[in-house]
Amino acid sequence: MSLTSIALVSAESSGKVVVHLKGALEADDNLKAAMEDYSYVDWSVVTGDLTASDLSGADMLVMIQADPAVEYTEAELSALTAWFDEGSKLLWVASDSDYPDGQELRPPQANAALEAVGSTLRGENGETQDPLVNFDAAYRVKAVSENCAPEYEFLVAGVTYAQFHGCGVIIGYLNENYYALDETDIDGVYVIMTSSDSGVISDESAPAPEAHSPGQEGAFAMMVLEEMPNSNYVIATSDAPFSHYSPMYKPELQKPSRYNLTSGNPQQGDTLFGNILDFAVRNAMGASISMLEDDKAGLTADVADLEAEVATVEAEKTRLEGDVSTLTSEKASLEADLTAAQSSASTMQLAAVAALVIGVVVGYFVGPMIKKE
């Protein structure tokens, strides 16, 4: 690519990130901190209904049901689908546990958004607790990065733990069946963060969990990435980076004593979010480069067409020059013929004049002689 093309990509590669805090009054302190920490992107915060105008030019969308009682509308889901279908997008959908204080209203809405874009990921109607690896309570799960799929280890660079507070579980849904991602692999689906092996499933409210049983132990999926067609990606999490009671991004802003990194409770939710943000921007940059390469290919084809036209014109020029040379030769020949003709005509005229003179002279002398006789 030319330096001009690279400069164009760099100028447009900051990316636009939309955070939809459905039902919120404003961005919380955690989101404000993220916007300051990652000021290189163009942030947009939507608290009302999500529209196509909100999503115009966006490379990444984070969907969080800030008020669990406010549901996504059909118009919002249609706008989401239209945006996603443009390609080279990253959609992050935050689910929750089924704890009966309003949290249980979030998984169905998260699943409606996931279904709208054709994802196989779902939030389960259940809760993950971890009695051993936690932030001073079993429901304050220390999600770990040690089980991250190798293909996406770069997303957890610099991340050991991240808080998932009162979190649910991410499962798979394929061919009308639910799958536990700690037991079943699905093509294109990659687990990023899990509970530790001491995680436990609990059922806090109806309906029952779809893919796990209450009391089941294991490393359960907290954050999952799905590769989608058209260079799209979906990330589903069992808690939210912002807006929930104690979000993943810098929970120390609310509880500095609990989440002080020197206190023995390390968590790097902000680093995890930043890695995903960078990935979204790189994905968008790749789309820009692809578009420039397509433009370059189109221009190359145009140049080839013009070169072919130039060759045709040059061939016609050569032919015409040959015709001119032939005509010039013919002209010279005609001029020579004309000169010869003119020369011949002059000789004949002189002979005629001479004959006339001789005739006159003869007549002058011969006539009288005839008369005398």
Digit-coded pLDDT (tens) for 300-332: 566 667 777 777 777 778 887 777 788 788 778
In angstroms, the CA 196 to CA 170 distance is: 15
Structure-derived torsion over alpha carbons of residues 219, 109, 104, 259, reported in degrees to the nearest 10: 60
Structure tokens at 320: 């015409």
The pLDDT value given to residue 7:
32
The helix/strand/coil state of 154 is helix
Structure tokens at 315: 């061939």
Give the tens place of pLDDT for each residue, 167-199. Answer: 999 999 999 999 999 999 999 999 999 999 999
The pLDDT value given to residue 298:
56
* Residue in the block written with tokens 């389960």: 124
Q: Which residues contact 78 (CB under 8 A, 6 or more apart)?
A: 116
* Residue in the block written with tokens 């919380």: 28
Contacts 24+ apart (CB under 8 A), 359-363: none
The pLDDT value given to residue 325:
80
Torsion angles phi and psi, residue 179, rounded to 5:
-130, 135
Name the H helices within the chain: 3-12, 29-37, 52-55, 74-84, 106-116, 256-259, 269-372
Mean per-residue pLDDT of the chain: 86
Indicate the pTM of the whole model.
0.75
In angstroms, the CA 121 to CA 232 distance is: 14
Q: Which of 67-71, 95-99, 240-244, 357-361 has the lowest mean pLDDT?
A: 357-361
Confidence of residue 6 (pLDDT cuts 50, 70, 90): very low
The answer to whether 23 and 73 have CB atoms below 8 angstroms apart is no
Nearest in space to 247 (alpha carbons), one of 19, 42, 9, 5:
19
Structure tokens at 302: 């145009």
Q: Which residues contact 277 (CB under 8 A, 6 or more apart)?
A: 15, 17, 38, 41, 60
Structure tokens at 95: 């689910």
Pairing of strands 161-165, 140-144: antiparallel
In angstroms, the CA 125 to CA 171 distance is: 10
In angstroms, the CA 107 to CA 112 distance is: 9
Structure tokens at 346: 């002059």
Q: Which of 108-122, 165-179, 358-372 has the lowest mean pLDDT?
A: 358-372
SS3 of 195-221: CCCCEEEECCCCCCCCCCCCCCEECCE
Asked if pLDDT for residue 333 goes beyond 90, the answer is no
Nearest in space to 144 (alpha carbons), one of 188, 99, 198:
198
Asked if pLDDT for residue 143 goes beyond 60, the answer is yes
The pLDDT value given to residue 337:
75
* Residue in the block written with tokens 């990444």: 60
In angstroms, the CA 239 to CA 90 distance is: 17
Handedness of CA 216, 222, 227, 230 (dihedral sign): positive
Amino acid at 125: N
In angstroms, the CA 13 to CA 59 distance is: 10
Torsion angles phi and psi, residue 20, rounded to 5:
-95, 105
Confidence of residue 361 (pLDDT cuts 50, 70, 90): low
> What domains are defined for the chain?
14-283 (3.40.50.880)
